Amino acid sequence: MASPFWPKFFEAKALSAQQIGGLLAGAMLMRLVSGPVVAAFADLIASLRLVLAGCAIVAAGAAAALLGTDTFVLLLLAALVQAAALAPTTAIADALSVNAARPRRQGGPSSTAGYEVRVRSLLCWARWQLGSS
């Protein structure tokens, strides 16, 4: 909802400047509140992917609703729902990225301990090869 084109979009829907300002201010306040709340909920239920997918679906539905309505109250409602759904998506996507990049500790192929074992084995093999020549 932070697009520079929203004022023109809402102007085309025959909203006054005061209504557009109120709508954009309400959406900004909604983002301030919903971002941390929804992200905390995602942490609480330990399902970042599910919450991210849900937010994307709700935001897409709200965007479609914005196209199909012309009254101020319905535009305000759709804009607030879209703002609430879009606010936590960046934080949740960042958390998913950090979790995916974090090394595992079980000694598997993607863990730091696994790489250390491989490097030491390679060094021992190289030392054995250099010593036998």
- pLDDT, residue 3, reads 76
- pLDDT, residue 113, reads 47
State the average pLDDT over residues 106-118: 52
CA distance 50 to 56: 10
- pLDDT, residue 10, reads 93
Task: Give the 3-state secondary structure of 4-60.
Answer: CCHHHHHHHCCCCHHHHHHHHHHHHHHHHHHHHHHHHHHHHHCCHHHHHHHHHHHHH
pTM over 0.85? The answer is: no
Give the model confidence (pLDDT) of 2-25 as tens digits.
578 889 999 999 999 999 999 999
